């Protein structure tokens, strides 16, 4: 990589910052809520159009039972290696709507931040990469690597069909290295690069005890589905956060010495985290290395939603006919979603809750890529150039994603790439946002990675 090339590209990005931002606004304005099948197809078409504008040859690849994968190829004459870039065009549901300060699908800049559903996760990554490629092409002219651009439309509902899709398209997706979805800058601005992801098993437990809601005066003799769920859930996890499902911890690997070394270098700013989320203290009063070990290497059982009966203002005296709880289990290597789901179902039977139905909504396996690879090295080195701060390497991300489907089938090294979000980006929550500055730096980082590889 020539230093002059890099400067030329960076200058181009700065000059065209408004265009870069407007392109992201354009994509973020298109709803694409996979959980609600809202605008997903329209978004795929728009992504295709935007990828073509950056020079890709693009196809919408049909996915059995799911939204299409937008797949683009950009061959560079003389380039010997190929990088596959992963991102997704779907977003989380915007609810609760009344907590947004601006419309979730009408992106808006306020005080240097861009607000809108998906700007951090994952449309900023997607558009930023297209802008980086355009910057290189409009300045240096030629990319030193071939690119494959893989954009799926159901990441937020667990990439249900991705595993099968990757297995069937190994040749098409073959590459020498992979840039995954980007990471986050920590509260001090340090970019983080991650080498793996936790798994995710998302389950809904449903109790239905009657065909109609009843006046609650009948409660002495009629069953109550919310109570059924409460008693059942109480057998799932104790107040020390220990999951009580038989065999839940069977395949959990302890962090290795290398892992612990990486953990030690992760500067988790405890007070910043607590302030960002408005919590008084971490669970069980955790601090320091114990806090980090728990965050990165502990599997969880989390209630994401509980719904039963009357939820409006005041009182309604009703004995509800049904209750539902959404639970997310984050899994660590070498747990497996199928095994845990089977154990959850067995647990319900064993604890005399076979009247409660367990429905699997999502499943993604945990994944880990090696630390020692060219793509990781280049990502780390160029991060220093762009952010003027040393990158932090996370052995595994505490969030989940479909990385395992790629890792297991395609066996390429992976790095997470640029960082446009921060802990206060409110990913998955109302008022999702990124700093415009972080978005522009992310574009520069990707450009630097591609030029340096």
Residues 34-73 that bind a second copy (CB under 8 A): 34-36
Which is nearer to a second copy, 34 or 82 (by Cβ)?
34
Among 83, 323, 375, 441, binds a second copy (CB under 8 A): 323
Could you tell me which stretch among 2-10, 71-79, 289-297, 339-347 binds a second copy (CB under 8 A)?
289-297
Number of residues forming the site for a second copy (CB under 8 A):
87
Which is nearer to a second copy, 175 or 394 (by Cβ)?
394
CA-CA distances (angstroms) from residue 115 to 5, 83, 119, 120, 155? 32, 30, 7, 9, 21
**3-state secondary structure at position 145:** coil
- List the one residue out of 301, 384, 385 whose CA is nearest residue 344: 301
- List the one residue out of 432, 408, 450, 444 whose CA is nearest residue 91: 432
Contact code string over 183-202 relative to a second copy, x by CB under 8 A:
---------------x-x-x
- 252 part of the interface to a second copy, by CB under 8 A: no
**Nearest distance, CB of residue 261 and a second copy, angstroms:** 20
Among 159, 214, 379, 405, binds a second copy (CB under 8 A): 214
Q: How far apart are CA 385 and CA 364, in angstroms?
A: 34
- 141 part of the interface to a second copy, by CB under 8 A: no
For a second copy, the binding residues in 375-434 under the rule CB under 8 A are 397-400, 426-430
Number of residues written out for the chain? 453
Q: Which residue has the tokens 């009182």?
A: 315
Q: Taking each helix axis as running N to C, give the angle between helix 436-452 and helix 3-15, from 0 to 180 degrees, rounded to the nearest 10.
A: 150
- 223 part of the interface to a second copy, by CB under 8 A: yes
Q: Taking each helix axis as running N to C, give the angle between helix 40-53 and helix 124-138, from 0 to 180 degrees, rounded to the nearest 10.
A: 20
**Nearest distance, CB of residue 195 and a second copy, angstroms:** 16
**Nearest distance, CB of residue 48 and a second copy, angstroms:** 24
- 359 part of the interface to a second copy, by CB under 8 A: no
Which is nearer to a second copy, 144 or 183 (by Cβ)?
183
Among 18, 315, 372, 388, binds a second copy (CB under 8 A): 315
- In the DSSP assignment, the letter for residue 396 is S
**Nearest distance, CB of residue 213 and a second copy, angstroms:** 4
- 374 part of the interface to a second copy, by CB under 8 A: no
Residue 232: phi and psi, rounded to 5, are: -70, -45
Radius of gyration of the chain (CA): 23
> What value, to the nearest 5°, has the Cα angle with vertex 373 and ends 370 and 374?
155
Among 62, 112, 167, 305, binds a second copy (CB under 8 A): 305
Pairing of β 214-215 and β 322-331: unpaired
């Amino acid at each position: 990589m020539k230093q002059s090339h890099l400067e030329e590209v960076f200058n181009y990005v700065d000059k065209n910052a408004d265009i870069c931002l407007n392109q992201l606004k354009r994509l973020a304005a298109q709803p694409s809520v996979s959980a609600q099948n809202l605008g997903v197809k329209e978004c795929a078409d728009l992504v295709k159009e935007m990828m073509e504008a950056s020079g890709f040859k693009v196809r919408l690849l049909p996915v059995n039972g799911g939204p299409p994968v937008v797949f683009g190829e950009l061959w560079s004459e003389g380039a010997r290696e190929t990088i596959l870039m992963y991102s997704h065009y779907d977003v989380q549901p915007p609810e609760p709507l009344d907590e947004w300060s601006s419309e979730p699908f009408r992106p808006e800049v306020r005080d240097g931040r861009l607000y809108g559903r998906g700007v951090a996760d994952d449309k900023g990554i997607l558009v930023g990469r297209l802008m980086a490629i355009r910057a290189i092409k409009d300045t240096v002219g030629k990319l030193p690597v071939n690119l494959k651009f893989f954009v799926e439309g159901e990441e937020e509902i667990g990439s249900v069909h991705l595993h099968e899709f990757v297995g069937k398209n190994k040749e098409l997706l073959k590459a020498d290295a992979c840039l995954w979805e980007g990471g986050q800058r920590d509260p001090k601005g340090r970019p983080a690069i991650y080498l793996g992801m936790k798994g995710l098993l998302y389950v809904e437990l449903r109790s239905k005890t009657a065909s109609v809601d009843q006046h609650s005066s009948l409660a002495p003799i009629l069953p109550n589905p919310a109570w059924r769920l409460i008693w059942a859930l109480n057998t799932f996890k104790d107040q020390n956060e220990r999951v009580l499902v038989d065999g839940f911890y069977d395949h959990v690997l302890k962090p290795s010495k290398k892992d612990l070394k990486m953990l030690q270098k992760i500067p988790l700013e405890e007070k910043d985290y607590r302030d960002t989320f408005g919590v008084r203290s971490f669970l069980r009063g955790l601090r320091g290395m114990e806090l980090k070990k728990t965050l990165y290497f502990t599997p969880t059982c989390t209630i994401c939603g509980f719904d039963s009966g009357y939820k409006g203002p005041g009182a309604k005296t009703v004995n509800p006919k049904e209750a539902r709880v959404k639970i997310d289990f984050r899994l660590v290597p070498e747990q497996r979603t199928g095994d845990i789901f089977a154990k959850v179902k067995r647990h319900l039977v064993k604890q005399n809750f076979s009247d409660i139905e367990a429905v699997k909504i999502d499943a993604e396996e945990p994944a880990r890529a090696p630390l020692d690879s060219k793509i990781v090295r280049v990502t780390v080195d160029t991060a220093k150039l762009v952010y003027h701060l040393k990158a932090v390497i996370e052995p595994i991300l505490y969030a989940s994603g479909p990385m395992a489907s790629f890792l297991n089938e395609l066996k390429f090294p992976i790095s997470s790439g640029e960082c446009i979000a921060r802990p206060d980006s409110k990913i998955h929550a109302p008022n999702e946002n990124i700093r415009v500055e972080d978005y522009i730096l992310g574009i520069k980082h990707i450009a630097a990675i591609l030029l340096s590889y």
